[in-house]
């Protein structure tokens, strides 16, 4: 059995639902163990304060001897500037023997694993933070051809955004040049049930922060990245 450690904002609930749900479809067995950083409002100030709690969380999960650790807050990393996921992952590696990943890095790598260079995306963030996510991805060589910000600042409310609102936002995007669609650029915004239907509707590979995180965990642990019903990224042919 592989032990997965999740470092999550205190108000997050979705990643601890979607990542286990995805990996439950895999032949390998997993257990999941979380440590939390206080954060309620998705603002630049609270994200910075939340990141300052990172070392305690990593040390707590180290006590559990996890095999892999996922720093599961995408915007908290991307809002700190270009290339931040690499710096954060390297810093965490200095405190643990576990495989270290971040949701921010996983999304970048997931898009590239699909061979996509042009994407569209849906985010729950307030517009200034959404713009930082777009700029971060573009600095990684991924052109964002269109994007939507649902402007939800309360992180608990992000976890309650209904799927039809996410799909309505996706339908409003210009996908004519997109090679992939990120249906949720946030581990807190629910989207797992939308990935397969969105692929069928839009005719594009569709991924989310959760499916990208699962892909990164599986490949990082040397396991076959095949999860049924989770989109093209997890079909094993990415």
Q: Is 73 a catalytic residue?
A: yes
Q: Is 186 a catalytic residue?
A: yes
- Please answer whether residues 107 and 212 qualify as being in contact, where contact means their C-beta atoms are separated by less than 8 angstroms: yes
What is the reported pLDDT for 51? 78
The verdict on residue 135 lying in a domain is: yes
End-to-end CA distance of the chain: 25
Task: Tell me the CATH number at 60.
Answer: 3.40.50.12500
Least-confidence region, from 41-45, 168-172, 181-185: 41-45
Residue 10 has pLDDT above 90, yes or no: no
DSSP secondary structure string for all residues of the chain: -EEEEEEEETT--SHHHHHHHHHTTSSS-EEEEEEEE---B-SHHHHHHHHTTHHHHHHHHHHTT-SEEEE--HHHHHTT-TTHHHHHHHHHHTT-SSEEEEHHHHHHHHHHHTT-SEEEEEE-S-HHHHHHHHHHHHHTT-EEEEEEE----BHHHHTT--HHHHHHHHHTS--TT-SEEEEESSSSS--GGGHHHHHHHHSS-EEEHHHHHHHHHHHHTT---B-TTS-GGGBT--
What is the reported pLDDT for 46? 81
pLDDT above 70 covers what percent of the chain? 99
Phi-psi region of 83 (alpha: psi -120 to 50; beta: other; left: phi over 0): left
Same domain for 112 and 203, yes or no, is yes
Residue 5 has pLDDT above 60, yes or no: yes
Residue-wise pLDDT tens digits, 50-88: 778 888 999 999 999 999 999 998 988 998 899 999 999
The count of residues in the chain is: 238
Same domain for 135 and 60, yes or no, is no
Whole-angstrom distance, CA of residue 23 vs CA of residue 127 = 32
Residue 43 has pLDDT above 80, yes or no: no
Q: What is the overall mean pLDDT for the chain?
A: 94
Same domain for 21 and 72, yes or no, is yes
Per-residue confidence band for 237, with pLDDT thresholds at 50, 70 and 90:
low
Same domain for 162 and 223, yes or no, is no
- Please state the domain count of the chain: 2
- Please answer whether residues 231 and 205 qualify as being in contact, where contact means their C-beta atoms are separated by less than 8 angstroms: yes
Q: Is the pTM of this model over 0.75?
A: yes
User: 91 lies in which domain range?
Assistant: 2-103+211-228
Binding residues for substrate, as ranges, are: 12, 73-75, 125, 155, 187-188
The verdict on residue 96 lying in a domain is: yes
The verdict on residue 53 lying in a domain is: yes
Same domain for 25 and 99, yes or no, is yes
Residue 238 has pLDDT above 60, yes or no: no
Average pLDDT score over residue span 40-50: 77
What is the reported pLDDT for 50? 75
Q: Exactly one of 69, 73, 180, 217 is catalytic; which is it?
A: 73
Same domain for 177 and 118, yes or no, is yes
What is the reported pLDDT for 42? 75
Residue-wise pLDDT tens digits, 130-181: 999 999 999 999 999 999 999 999 989 999 999 999 999 999 999 999 999 9
Same domain for 156 and 198, yes or no, is yes
Of residues 95 and 47, the one with the higher pLDDT is: 95
Q: Exactly one of 186, 194, 217, 238 is catalytic; which is it?
A: 186
Instruction: Give the closest residue to 106 by CA, choosing from 220, 238, 230, 224.
Output: 220
Whole-angstrom distance, CA of residue 35 vs CA of residue 126 = 26
Same domain for 34 and 120, yes or no, is no
Per-residue confidence band for 30, with pLDDT thresholds at 50, 70 and 90:
very high
Residue 45 has pLDDT above 90, yes or no: no
Whole-angstrom distance, CA of residue 225 vs CA of residue 109 = 13
């Amino acid at each position: 059995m592989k032990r997965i450690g999740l470092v999550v904002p205190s108000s997050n609930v979705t990643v601890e639902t979607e990542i286990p749900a995805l990996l439950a479809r895999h032949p390998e067995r997993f257990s999941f163990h979380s440590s939390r950083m206080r954060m309620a409002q998705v603002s630049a100030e609270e994200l910075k304060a939340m990141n300052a709690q990172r070392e305690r969380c990593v040390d707590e999960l180290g006590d559990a001897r996890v095999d892999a650790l996922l720093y599961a807050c995408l915007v908290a990393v991307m809002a700190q500037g270009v290339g931040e996921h690499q710096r954060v992952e390297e810093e965490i590696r200095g405190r643990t023997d576990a495989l270290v990943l971040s949701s921010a890095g996983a999304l970048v790598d997931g898009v590239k694993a699909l061979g996509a260079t042009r994407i569209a995306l849906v985010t729950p963030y307030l517009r200034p933070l959404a713009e930082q996510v777009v700029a971060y991805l573009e600095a990684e060589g991924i052109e964002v051809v269109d994007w939507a910000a649902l402007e939800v600042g309360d992180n608990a409310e992000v976890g309650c955004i209904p799927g039809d609102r996410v799909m309505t936002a996706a339908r409003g995007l210009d996908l004519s040049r997109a090679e992939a669609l990120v249906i949720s650029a946030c581990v807190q915004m629910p989207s797992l049930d939308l990935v397969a239907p969105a692929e069928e509707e839009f005719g594009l590979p569709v991924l989310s922060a959760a499916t990208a995180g699962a892909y990164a965990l599986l490949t990082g642990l040397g396991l076959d990245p095949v999860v049924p019903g989770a989109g093209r990224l997890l079909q094993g042919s990415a």
